[in-house]
Amino acid sequence: MVLIVGVIVLITVNIILLSLFNRRYISYYGPGRIAISIVAPFQKATSTSIRFVRDIWRHYFFLVNASKENEGLRKDLNRAFERNVQFKEFELSNARLRNLLNFQKNITDRVLAAEIIGKDPSPWFKTVLIDKGKHDGVEKGMAVVIPEGIAGQTTEVSAHYSKVLLIIDHNSAVDALVQRDRARGIIKGGSAGQCIFKYVLRKHDVVVDDIVVSSGLDGVFPKGLSVGYVSGVVKPKSGIFQEVTVTPYVDFEKLEEVLVVLNPEKREFEKEK
């Protein structure tokens, strides 16, 4: 009887503690940073070795297919060249319009390249460790992107390493909108590498294949970065929201390098101080 009561009390205390930790942000400055600093160098050394071996394999043993691939790539390059000329025209007009609208931000000036050195040990959580930290200018809450779209945001920063919460984690939230319809909602992590676009009003005509971009209203991700495309829409008979599933453009299984969007204004301000 005493044993059963003891176990029930322990479980209750355990749930209360977990609930407290879940509601309040726990800063890992101190021992937490030391723990990351212990593990991360080994992770970096291992992942660098794996990439080295894989690159040797790709460069020297896969040369048989390289000539065929080269021909195909040449054709692609010619097509890409034509498209590039068109895009340059768009870029110039875009730059003019941006100046006209007093857009001062330019994402290409404010990014820091980082390598992924470790993934989350549990399949239930989606975080990665990158090899850039506080000494490189990374701070907590900075957007992490790749050319395909948004990857996540930094949640822990140690001296040389940072932890990134990916947008497919169920703790992640990104303020986003549908590019065509401007329907606004919150992108949350779902299951099977997909995201759920929550709080989208039923009145909006969201359809499959619509592109979802960041709204910039969360103060983390710059406006207009692609998140993914709509892969499923369910309009329930009752309720004010519709259920929208979004497939991210980023392939998180193959994620190796990322760009951290820095905050130049803040850094300049700190220098002035």
Partner 1 sequence: MTYCYHVCICLFLIIVQTTVMPYIPLFKGFYDLLTPFFIYLSIFRPLRESIPVILFFGFVMETISGGTFGLYLTTYLWLFIGVRWVITFLHVGNNPLLPFIVVAGVLMQNFIFVGSSVIFEPGLRFTSEMSITIGVQVFWAIFTGPMFLMFFNYSFGKWDKRVKEISSRKVDR
Q: Which residues bind partner 1 (CB under 8 A)?
A: 14-15, 17-19, 21-22, 26, 28, 31-32, 35-36, 38-39, 42-43, 46-47, 50, 54, 117-127, 129, 155-156, 163, 165, 169-171, 191-192
**Strands 143-146 and 149-157, how do they pair?**
antiparallel
* Rounded least distance, CB 174 to partner 1, Å: 15
* Rounded least distance, CB 143 to partner 1, Å: 17
At CA 222, angle to CA 101 and CA 265, rounded to 5?
80
Do 188 and 166 meet the contact criterion of CB atoms below 8 Å apart? no
Residue 238 three-state SS: coil
Measured from the CB atom, is 214 or 245 closer to partner 1?
245
Spatial distance between the Cα atoms of 144 and 150, rounded to a whole number of angstroms: 6
Spatial distance between the Cα atoms of 167 and 188, rounded to a whole number of angstroms: 7
What residues have CB less than 8 Å from 216, skipping those under 6 apart? 175, 222, 223, 224
Measured from the CB atom, is 100 or 192 closer to partner 1?
192
Measured from the CB atom, is 160 or 163 closer to partner 1?
163
Phi, psi of 115 (to 5 degrees): -105, 145
Amino acid, single-letter form, for residue 36: I
* Rounded least distance, CB 8 to partner 1, Å: 13
* Rounded least distance, CB 134 to partner 1, Å: 15
Measured from the CB atom, is 47 or 226 closer to partner 1?
47
* Rounded least distance, CB 102 to partner 1, Å: 38
Measured from the CB atom, is 122 or 238 closer to partner 1?
122
